[in-house]
Amino acid sequence: MKQFLTKIFSPITSLFFFSIGGGLLTTLIVLILHSKKESSISIGIITSLYYLGLVLGSFKIEKLIVRIGHIRAFANFAAILTVSILLHLFEYNFYVWCVLRLITGFSTAGLFIVIESWLLTIGDTKNRGQILSIYMVSLYLANALSQLFLKIDSLSYNQLFIMIGISAVLSIIPLSLTKSQSPIIEETSALSLKNIYLLTKTGVAGCFFAGLVLSSIYGFLPLFLIKISNDDFVAIGMALVIFGGMFWQYPIGKISDLIERRKVILSLCISGMIISLLIITFTNYTLIYTLIFLLGGVTFTLYPISISHACDSLKAEDIISGTQALLLAYSLGAVTGPLIAPIFIKLIGTYGLFFYIITMLFLLSGIMFWRQSSTRYMEPEEPFVTVTTTTPLIATIDPRGTEEQ
């Protein structure tokens, strides 16, 4: 066990450092855009561009990593990320920030792929579940804790940008000092999104709508929180929604192993709609904190439950390529969501985000109800596994895959 922890310490520590910066940067960008009187549509465009960069990087940079090596690739992507962060300190220009967010997403994808492929070489069928769990906790914990820096009144926005840049630079140190051998990225079996859709329409729909909802929560929940309160409320609210997503992964996942997963997804949609309605209705801060925590739980679990449902329809040899295709479905939703949500915010106002969430969850619940009534019940064949939405390579750490994969 000690040897196992020693092997994963460096990549997990590097992941933790740059995830702290990345989590804080996403919220900070929204707050600054709000202070610059930018519209919700502008905020949506910038949020969408980050996810577009993440998608482009996820599918385009493996060959570069193989050519120059993992440590040098990580250092290069971290350097690009740091530069793109620090360039925000110059005179504000919306169009320049759009380009910077695209670059930030692209370089972040490179960092994720290096870490994920490194963890893949450490893992086997016996410990991949542990590795994936530690990966998930580290990622969510870093994203949640990063929000609390906003509560430090003595830190200006410029100082926060510098701190984010420092975290990106610090992430290079653990991986560059490791004694472990650099991993090799291998080709996996190909299974297109179209083929996955034919096999499991429900799984594809669940992943796509999860992307629509989660990207909009990251992009516009800070905007809602600052409109009803202040920066302190934003910090706590964003930390709680992420902690909620982390806390409820395991219990909801285990329930989905016992109950038909489509019913679980349908229940999550209904719960999310009710919670959103309650947030719209109540103004008590303590109650809103609790509701945001619960909202994180039901929305952040949509993606892994949808993945697990899809895996029940896939052959063992197709799980890795299948989950990679499903991540593409999520990514398409993540790029699209921040472009649609601003329409609700512009038409409805402060609570537009939650009307948007209600609408998306209502559409997904309709799909689940239709598929449940038109297709037979399938007993879960694969256990629930918590997965995250980073790059397609994380699918290879999924313990449901075979050792050869």
Tens of pLDDT, residues 141-177: 999 999 999 988 788 999 999 999 999 999 999 988 8
The amino acid that residue 397 corresponds to is I
* pLDDT at 364 > cutoff 50: yes
Note whether 345 and 353 are within 8 A (CB). Answer: yes
**Lowest-confidence region among 39-43, 78-82, 292-296, 316-320:** 316-320
Instruction: Check residue 106 and report its DSSP letter.
Output: H
How would residue 403 be classed by pLDDT, with cut points 50, 70 and 90?
Answer: very low
Instruction: Say what the alpha-carbon torsion angle 305, 309, 315, 316 is, to the nearest 10 degrees.
Output: 30
pLDDT confidence of residue 360: 97
CA 278 to chain CA centroid, nearest Å: 25
> What is the DSSP track for 74-88?
HHHHHHHHHHHHHGG
How would residue 297 be classed by pLDDT, with cut points 50, 70 and 90?
Answer: very high
Residues in the chain: 405
Q: Residue 275 corresponds to which tokens in the numbers above?
A: 């919670």
**CB-based burial label for 177 (10 Å; 0-12, 13-18, 19+):** exposed
CA 23 to chain CA centroid, nearest Å: 10
**Domain architecture of the chain: domains with CATH:** 2-177+190-397 (1.20.1250.20)
How would residue 124 be classed by pLDDT, with cut points 50, 70 and 90?
Answer: low
pLDDT confidence of residue 405: 43
Note whether 144 and 243 are within 8 A (CB). Answer: yes
- Total-model pTM: 0.88
How would residue 13 be classed by pLDDT, with cut points 50, 70 and 90?
Answer: very high
Measured CA to CA in angstroms, residue 280 lies from 7, 32, 95 at distances of 47, 25, 33
DSSP H stretches of helix in 200-260: 201-228, 231-247, 249-258
Q: Residue 152 corresponds to which tokens in the numbers above?
A: 């430090």
Nearest to 326 by CA among 194, 162, 161: 194
Tell me what the mean pLDDT of segment 366-372 comes to.
81
Nearest to 237 by CA among 250, 247, 248, 223: 223
* pLDDT at 381 > cutoff 60: no
**Would you tell me the crossing angle of helices 2-35 and 231-247 to the nearest 10 degrees?**
140
Phi, psi of 268, deg, nearest 5: -65, -40
Distance CA 61, CA 315 (A): 28
